[in-house]
């Protein structure tokens, strides 16, 4: 019996992109993204990890894996130099304060915004999120994670549009935050499919570029 149980585990371990090099037919890649996370407010690593886990959880429901890389510059932003090409699956997310965002942050209830859909670059506003969390039905790190997922969602959907339900609503009510444990703040199936397609498309472009003579 023990040997039979081991089979699925071995299959999972054997499924690895490196299999391409061995001549094994290439499997459809798992949609995954890497986010360079710029901690512009020196948030503690514990709080950062809790927010990351919350955002990861939302993307996992959508069938997408997220990896985080600490940004090298705390708050750096060189507007003249795009940091990534539009076909890369590497995105930029900056944790700023409203003051750091200056006039880019419009509206007193804004928790985040996109700097550039083309460059895959977005911002979440930690102090605005903290303020909302204090009076709301959720805690700071969970709300930060939700805001991170929302902004990365805009980047992957390549759209500033909002939906009437789920994580991509323009505004989360206290009621939906309170009931989030029941799974309301997720990407809709349509949004999830669009994002997976976008990621696979970009991963395909990267592979094509890499294999050019
Ligand atoms: Zn939005």
Query: For residue 37, which of 83, 62, 78, 74 has the smallest C-alpha distance?
Result: 74
Q: What count of other Cβ atoms lies within 10 Å of the Cβ of residue 175? A: 10
- How remote is the CA of residue 150 from the centroid of ligand 1, in Å? 6
Q: Domains (ranges, CATH) in the chain?
A: 30-160 (3.40.390)
- How remote is the CA of residue 46 from the centroid of ligand 1, in Å? 26
- How remote is the CA of residue 16 from the centroid of ligand 1, in Å? 35
- How remote is the CA of residue 116 from the centroid of ligand 1, in Å? 13
Question: CA of 42: how far to CAs of 48, 70, 112, 155, 162, in Å?
Answer: 9, 11, 17, 24, 30
- How remote is the CA of residue 123 from the centroid of ligand 1, in Å? 11
Angle 140-53-5 from CA coordinates, rounded to 5°: 150
Give me the mean pLDDT over the 65-78 stretch: 70
- How remote is the CA of residue 30 from the centroid of ligand 1, in Å? 26
Match 């506003």 to its residue by tokens: 125
The whole-angstrom separation of Cα 124 and Cα 144 is 8
Of 174 and 51, which is predicted with more confidence?
Answer: 51
pLDDT of residue 130: 94
pTM for the model = 0.78
Band of residue 136 on the pLDDT scale cut at 50, 70, 90: confident
């Amino acid at each position: 019996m023990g040997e039979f149980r081991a089979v699925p585990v071995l299959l999972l371990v054997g499924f690895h992109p490196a299999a391409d090099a061995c001549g094994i037919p290439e499997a459809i890649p798992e949609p995954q993204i890497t986010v360079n996370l710029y901690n512009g407010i020196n948030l503690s690593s514990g709080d950062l990890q809790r927010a990351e886990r919350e955002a990861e959880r939302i993307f996992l429901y959508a069938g997408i894996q997220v990896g985080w890389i600490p940004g090298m510059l705390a708050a750096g932003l060189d507007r003249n130099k795009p940091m990534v090409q539009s076909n890369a699956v590497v995105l930029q997310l900056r944790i700023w304060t409203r003051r750091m965002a200056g006039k880019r942050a419009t509206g007193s209830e804004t928790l985040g915004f996109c700097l550039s859909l083309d460059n895959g670059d977005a911002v979440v506003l930690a102090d605005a999120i903290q303020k909302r969390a204090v009076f709301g039905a959720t805690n700071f790190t969970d709300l930060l994670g939700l805001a991170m997922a929302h902004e990365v969602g805009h980047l992957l959907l390549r759209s500033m549009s909002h939906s009437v339900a789920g994580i991509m609503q323009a505004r989360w009510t206290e009621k939906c935050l309170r009931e989030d444990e029941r799974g309301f703040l997720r990407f809709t199936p349509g949004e999830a499919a669009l994002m997976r397609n976008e990621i696979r498309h970009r991963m395909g472009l990267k592979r094509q570029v890499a294999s050019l003579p």
